[in-house]
Structure 1
Amino acid sequence: MEEKKFDFNTIIGFGLIFIIIIWMMYNGQKTSQNERLEKARIAKDSIQKAKQTAPKKVALIALDSTVTDSAKIKQLQGTLGSFAYSSTLPSAKENFTTLENEFVSLKIANKGGYVVEATLKKFEKFKKNSGKLVELIKDNNSSFNLQLQTKDNRVLNTKDLFFEPTLTKVGENQILSMKLKAGVNEYLEYKYVLAPNKYLVDFDIQTRGLNTILNTSKPIDLQWGLKSYRNERSISYENRYAEIYFEYEDGKIDYVAQGNDKEENPEKATFIAYKQHFFTSILLTKTPFENAKLYSNDLVKDEKKDTIFTKQYKATMPLAFSNGELDYKMNWYYGPTDYNTLKSYDRNLEKIVPLGWGVFGWINKFIFIPLFGFLSSFMGLGIAIIIFTILIKIAMSPITFKSFLSQAKMKVLRPEITEIGEKFKKDPMKKQQETMKLYNKAGVNPMAGCIPALIQIPFMYASFQFFPSAFELRQKGFLWADDLSSFDQIFKLPFHIPLYGDHVSLFPILAAIAIFFYMKMTSGDQAMAQPQQDGMPDMAKIMKIMIYVSPVMMLIFFNSYGSGLSLYNFISNLITIGIMLVIKKYFIDSEKIHAQIQENKAKPKTESKFQKKMREMMEQAEAQKQLKNKK
């Protein structure tokens, strides 16, 4: 191997390179210093000239005549344009201002000027996290942005820019002005006004003097997003009632369907509500949005893994300029989805509470809500549900009585109806005619038993809408149930049963048992009350099947529902059984009913117009049938 020797030529070469680098650095530093001095002189001359010729534009160039600030603004102007001024203000740092009253605490950031924390001071999360207040906004789960279009074709996002806060107090109202400044008198302002004892916050958006900077020929986009936090015990049950509601076209209310990637595009929208089960974030405007793009996505794919968020909400609405300026009077609502609280603001907000459509909504609005609200104002919620159920069932008892009485009459007539069926087995039309004559002579209406049952159905359906929406039940306990708005778990299963869940709730079991005994006691009478028709299924068999199917359905589907609804159904069925026993024992005597029917048969009967019309139609049908048979 050849021995390496010391090469003096290499040493000399490296030395020369080192000297050249030192010389270049020295001259470069000297040149840079000269350039900085020249730039400082130019900036100073520009500021002096601006002060003399255009005072109002000083703010667009620098805060003062120092070299550092002028250089900073020139650098920022490359990306922010005139709004570079805002980024040199003392507020151009991560800082926050808090508005707070007895109900809500709002934290507004300098950067973006929007609410970054919204805490409800009267409510806690589900019992597992007892002591932690409900937070609708925190840890960047919400965004609010105006996308500004400048005359030189820049697109600026307010969420990335710094606003200057000014907090004042007028009387008991807290007023926070957040200004994004392009000059002393040129700014975009968010104005928040929080009054005592309110969840509703006044929120104005306006511009001043920006018509020379912004492109005002077309609207700018307001973008609002929220990932809604879980706040209740059952994330699946909570998620079932989480959706976007909106008001549009002068008072119409609609919602975005649940599921993945659901969208709606309402016109003339006046509020957008990001509704959770028991809490809601709402943006309202007095100047309707011409159109809106609303988006909802379900974030709960696996209940065991997806336990933090329920829905992803997004909305984009245009803000139109008027005479070159923005001027929108708006409101924020961060608070409970409570019917009476929302109604108190007289802005149609209570309609986001799902009470059912048509007659179901009327029952909830005019009967259930006032009555339950009155009872719950001076007694415990569990007792209030029981008293409420008793009052509803007592009010419905005359209808129940008529239904049972009709069943008893039909039961007495059943032997004669069966006899007619046998006699005219081969002539269904004649059999129908004779059956109708029997009903007429006996003074029995076969529909009398159905109509009372139909009247009770709306009340039953209304209860299915009312109790899941009753905010009063949230975190109120009764007996073993620690929260009447959630399931009353008495045992945790080590596995998950499809449709049923991974726990055992007691109130659904009690309700299922009550339904079983109620149907066991009434199924025989109902089957006997219905005459058997040719080609129709045997009612006795159907009722026998329903005796077992109905309790199982109650057990399965109500296991994860709020225990308040299960308690209502349990008490309701118990009371119905009691009323039925009392009616059967003291008000319905089969022998007396039979005697009355026989007496009615002996009396001459006059046909009503309806009965006459029905008889004539049946006779015509029979004549046509006979004529067809002859041919």
Structure 2
Amino acid sequence: MDRNQATGLILFAAVLLIYSFFFSSPEPVADEPSTTSTEVQDDSASKQTAASSTPQIPDSVKNLQNQQQFGEFSSLVDGKEAFLVLENELVKITFSSKGGEIKSAELKNYKTWAKEPLILMDEQSASIDYQLQTDKGPMSLNQFYFSGEKSTVTVDETPAQQLTFKAETASGSITRTYILPDDKYVIDQKITTNGLSSLSDKNITVHWNDNLKKQEADISESRRKTYVNFYTTEGDYDYLSASSDEDAEQPSEPIKWVAFKQRFFTAGIIAPNQFTNVNLEQTVPTDTMSVKNMAATLSFPLENGQASNSYYFGPNNYKILKKVTPDFEKNVDMGYFFVSWVNKYIIVNLFHYLEKVISNYGVIIILIVFIIKLFLFPLTYKSYIGMAKMRVIKPEIDELKEKYPDDPTKQQQEQMKLFSQLGVSPISGCLPMILQMPFLFAMFFFFPNSIELRQESFLWAHDLSTYDSILTLPFTIPFYGNHVSLFTLLMTVSQIVYTRFNNQLTAAQGPMKNLGYIMPVTFMFVLNSYPAALSFYYFVSNMVTFGQQALIKRFVDDNKIRAKIEQNKKKNVNKKKSKFQQRLEDAMKAAEANKKKK
């Protein structure tokens, strides 16, 4: 029970106590005149008489009022609402004959965190309103009653269900046709008007409001990953601020699609050409009944009495979204440009391939680690050799530090000269590690946004897409939270062990030696509330890296490395400075001269 619930119960109990104390005490019968059944009957009869005396509007007057308000559409405002359904194995879309409009969308292969049917939107949480511009002003199609008819059609050789809504007036008609293919999350819509003389503007305006329903247990993480995305006809992708409690935008360029993107699911509207006059809004509610409240207003042309668009109601699966419309897959955050290519072209394909042959996602993560580590092994080996060389020549470096203790510039110049003579590069151990960084950071985006891991268990983690809490704390630690994630602890311990091994390997000293211990602790705080899959990946990666370096150490002889360095020293004894080395020394001298002047 949270604080708001407890407060509500206390207030509710207080109201009941006050009510019972002041109003529930019996009054003395002698002091109060009795009420006879006759009086009660008379009172009831008077109410019925009053109700029956209320003047009823004649049908002729009502029809005249409708005619004045709705013009040629007046015959469409009376009717009886009925609900019709289009569904395939993936989605179930419910429509209302009042407006011929979508009322709810259910994803049939997914459940909420509470194991209930996953309703992406419904009549209580969302509304979609199409408006026609007429000589009587804007007319909402939701005010009109349509007749509906279902049929089966074929679209691009794929069986599909078709639902046709038609509203006929004395002068013309409005038809809304929806088509849902058997194997897609996309539903196409076509609007046709025929013979309507009162249309004053050849545009249709759509108002879509959606209080996004809570689908995941962690409301904070859900809100952090939920925002309005949009894509312009010029090929620019953008979104409303994910961190702001309230945001709005009116894009100056026409829009190709707008998406109400949640962490794992998206509801979007797509234009065949473009939407104009777009206005987008989002707010974060103060309660936890919805994740975010979103609204989109947009227009699209009604040309020759016809207009069309599409909807997407489905999961944030990268491969599925990629087939919907250009750049719709951007609703899955693959990271910044320098790491996104790893996810798009390597990790996604590797993950889906393993998914076809292995059902356990924890095992899939382990295999991904081994495959990536095997692929990057040449870099790991080169990095180890580079660090081993630096370890071997450490006595020479220490001599230079003792020789020039008060002259850092001279010390660095002599070190550069020493490196050149020995054929050793000080960055040879770091560069291979830097080249591996895109893979390390790519996982930081892949696992938190991978719907495939949603509600998948492994070992003690009941859901790899959220944190694996083994202990709930009675208090909240700043930047850490009120729970303990075991995979995060294992990752931290493994990183500390690896850092200790690496420091012995490289003979690290000074601040760099301690920095290796600070980083794991920092990440323990950062990743405690991140998905268990991410911490588990880093833990396995640390263990494999530790094993690789221990294995390499068994086959790499420091004496042979020393002998190779001595050969380089003899060969490079008269070696001239390279242009890069000369420029670097000149720059160091200039910096030292400026320092002395100051």
Shorter chain as denominator, the TM-score bin is 0.7 to 0.9
**For 1:292, what is the secondary structure of its paired residue?**
strand
Instruction: Give the TM-score, by structure 1 length.
Output: 0.79
Aligned to 1:559: 528
CA apart distance, 1:215: 1.5
- Structure 1 residues 526 and 77 mapped into 2: Cα distance closer, same or farther (>3 Å)? farther
Q: Which moved more, 1:79-88 or 1:386-395?
A: 79-88
Q: Which runs of 5+ in 2 are unaligned?
A: 1-52
User: Aligned partners of 1:297 and 1:457: how far apart in 2?
Assistant: 36
User: Which of 311-320 and 494-503 deviates more?
Assistant: 494-503
Distance 2:591 2:536 in 1: 57
Cα 1:292–1:523 shift into 2, 3 Å: farther
Structure 1 pair 71–562 and aligned structure 2 pair: CA distance change class (3 A)? same
Give the Cα–Cα distance (whole angstroms) in 2 for the partners of residues 624 and 505 of structure 1: 48
Q: Assess if the C-alpha contact under 8 Å between 1:83 and 1:180 holds in 2.
A: no
> What are the residue-to-residue correspondences of 1:427-466 with 2, within 5 Å?
427-466=407-446
Identity of aligned residues (%): 34
CA drift of 1:170 comes to 2.6
Q: Return the alpha-carbon distance in structure 2 between the equivalents of residues 629 and 319 of structure 1.
A: 69
Matches within 5 A, 1:372-521: 372-379=351-358, 380-521=360-501
Q: Which runs of 5+ in 1 are unaligned?
A: 1-28, 37-66, 529-538
1:340 Cα deviation after fit: 1.5
Task: Give the structure 1 partner of residue 275 of structure 2.
Answer: 289
TM-aligned CA distance change 1:627 to 1:396, over 3 Å: closer
* 1:199/1:334 contact within 8 Å kept: yes
Q: Secondary structure at the match of 2:274?
A: strand
Structure 2 CA distance for aligned equivalents of residues 187 and 448 of structure 1? 75
Q: 1:331-367 CA distances to partner (integer Å, 9 max, x unpaired)?
A: 1111111111222335432221110132311100111
1:75 aligns with 2:65: yes
- Select 1:596's aligned residue among 564, 571, 574: 564
Deviations 1:30-73, CA, capped at 9 Å, x for gaps: xx99xx9xxxxxxxxxxxxxxxxxxxxxxxxxxxxxx94x5542
Superposed displacement of residue 269, structure 1:
0.9
Is 2:503 the counterpart of 1:523? yes
Query: Shift of residue 592 of structure 1?
Result: 2.4
**Structural mapping, 1:150-549, within 5 Å:** 150-152=134-136, 154-170=137-153, 172-181=159-168, 183-184=169-170, 186-210=172-196, 212-216=197-201, 219-258=203-242, 259-266=244-251, 267-299=253-285, 301=286, 306-322=287-303, 325=305, 327-345=306-324, 347-379=326-358, 380-526=360-506, 528=508, 540-547=510-517, 549=518
Q: CA deviation at 1:120?
A: 0.9
Amino acid aligned to 2:376: M
- Provide closer, same or farther for how the CA distance between residues 426 and 348 of structure 1 changes in structure 2, counting only shifts above 3 A: closer
Tell me the distance in 1 between the aligned counterparts of 2:432 and 2:493: 24
Q: Alignment partner of 1:322: what SS?
A: coil
The question of whether the paired residues in 2 share the 8 Å contact of 1:500 and 1:560 is answered with yes
Letter in 2 for 1:554: F
Q: Is the 8 A contact 1:440 1:605 kept in 2?
A: no
* Distance 1:123-1:438 versus aligned 2 partners, 3 A rule: same
Does the C-alpha gap of structure 1 residues 243 and 526 become closer, same or farther in structure 2, counting only changes over 3 Å?
farther
Of 581, 596, 611 in structure 1, the residue corresponding to residue 578 of structure 2 is: 611
Out of 197-206 and 170-179, give the one that drifted further.
Answer: 170-179
User: Which letter does structure 2 place at the counterpart of 1:98?
Assistant: V
Compute the TM-score of the two structures, normalised by the length of structure 2: 0.83
Quick one: which amino acid aligns to residue 153 of structure 2?
Answer: V
Whether contact under 8 Å (2:130, 2:140) holds in the other structure is yes
- Aligned-partner SS, 2:254: strand
Instruction: For 1:595 and 1:144, locate their aligned partners in 2 and report how far apart those are by CA, in whole Å.
Output: 77
Q: Which amino acid aligns with 1:376?
A: E
Q: What residue in structure 1 maps to residue 46 of structure 2? A: none
Q: What is the CA distance between 1:189 and its match in structure 2?
A: 2.9
Q: Deviations over 1:191-239 (max 9, x none)?
A: 21112121111112332223x212127x443211211111122122222
**AA matched with 1:84:** S
Query: RMSD value over aligned CA atoms?
Result: 2.8
Task: Summarize deviations over 1:483-542 as a string: whole Å, max 9, x none.
Answer: 1112222223333333322322211111111111111221344463xxxxxxxxxx5234
> For this pair of structures, how many residues does the alignment match?
537
Contact 1:163-1:180 at 8 Å conserved across structures: yes
1:145 aligns to what? 129
Report deviation, 1:185: 5.2
